[in-house]
Homo-oligomer: A and B are copies of this chain.
Amino acid sequence: MRTQAAVPDITAALAEVAQEVDATLDRLLPLHEDADGRLMEAIRYSTLSGGKRIRPFLVLSGAELFDVSRPFALRTAAAIEMVHSYSLIHDDLPAMDNDTLRRGMPTCHVRFDEATAILAGDGLLTRAFEVLADPATHTDPRVRADLVVELARASGVDGMVGGQMLDLLAEHRTLGMAEVTRMQRMKTGALIAFSCEAGAILGKRSDGDRHALRAYAHDLGLAFQIVDDLLDIEGDAETVGKTTGKDTEAGKATFVSLLGVERARNQSAMLAHQAVEHLAVFGEAAEPLRSLASFIVERRN
């Protein structure tokens, strides 16, 4: 695994991906002129407000392994980012995590209102599937249908939505390590895994390549979440860009509360290292994915 030295490169590479994906999102989410302009305004406010674009970076880096057409990969990356953005809008709602700050800005329901935020999330999720199924995303309709099925599995009741439900239920009881791991795999891991696998789906690759990327994503996703938990404890809202200390306040079990800071930090490094080992089969072409693993455990927001 690369260390500190890789980080400046990856920061520039992430910024480049962010610019490309933002341009794609800007085109796929055009502002309406008339009365329903408010809805698209809320969608754009939440989706085009920065963010590290880690999922798009995974899609594009995975797609590069298999010479996938860049426009196909960008549309897929944008669709996944739409789903990520919708999940943040809904998770921030008063009835859910009741967050007022996101990426250093008022959350969608604070800036607009609750009804608009709910509908903006619904509209984003719907648009994501429309984008994936559209002929512009791949010439082979089988690939498009496959992308839709896998995105739905990653983000639905057996994935992200189910994970958020488990997270909410965790406020009423203390979870153990196995339960926290399962909850996080569903809540954030499944979409990260799909982001990696999408490149192989777009490239019509064998199960072997798909599994290698999933295994990488599996470990990377957990490492990512452990670092999130560490930042929630150690970071300040200004650097992290969202309210910190919330999990501790809510008495929720996290990787940090279960392992302690030191072991959690070691665990995240170990998982990132393990993630990178799954990439051996792809050789040097997987260098961006290796750099990302270092970035994930060293990030400060």
**Interface of A with B (CB < 8 Å)?**
32, 35-36, 38-40, 43, 86, 90, 93, 95-96, 113-116, 118-119, 121-123, 125-127, 129-130, 132-135, 140-142, 144-146, 148-149, 151-153, 155-157, 161-162, 164-166, 168-169, 179
User: In angstroms, how far is the closest chain B Cβ from the Cβ of A147?
Assistant: 8
Query: Judging by beta carbons under 8 Å apart, are A125 and B123 in contact?
Result: no
Query: Judging by beta carbons under 8 Å apart, are B38 and A157 in contact?
Result: no
Q: In the bound complex, how far is the Cα of B127 from the Cα of A148, in angstroms?
A: 10
- Judged by DSSP, the binding face of A is helix
Beyond A156-B123, A157-B40, whether A115 also contacts B134 by CB under 8 A is no
Q: In the bound complex, how far is the Cα of B179 from the Cα of A40, in angstroms?
A: 19
User: In angstroms, how far is the closest chain B Cβ from the Cβ of A94?
Assistant: 8
Across the interface, A157 reaches (CB within 8 A) one of B36, B141, B179, namely B36
Q: Can you spell out 23 A-B residue pairs with CB atoms less than 8 angstroms apart?
A: A36-B165, A39-B157, A40-B157, A90-B118, A93-B115, A95-B113, A96-B115, A116-B165, A121-B122, A122-B161, A123-B156, A123-B162, A126-B156, A126-B157, A126-B161, A129-B151, A130-B149, A132-B148, A133-B145, A133-B148, A141-B141, A141-B142, A144-B145
Beyond A148-B148, A149-B130, A152-B129, whether A123 also contacts B161 by CB under 8 A is yes
Q: In the bound complex, how far is the Cα of B132 from the Cα of A149, in angstroms?
A: 8
Q: List the B side residues contacting A168 at CB < 8 Å.
A: 115-116, 119
Beyond A38-B169, A90-B122, A157-B39, whether A129 also contacts B129 by CB under 8 A is yes
User: In angstroms, how far is the closest chain B Cβ from the Cβ of A167?
Assistant: 10
Across the interface, A162 reaches (CB within 8 A) one of B39, B140, B161, namely B39
Q: List the B side residues contacting A95 at CB < 8 Å.
A: 113-115, 118
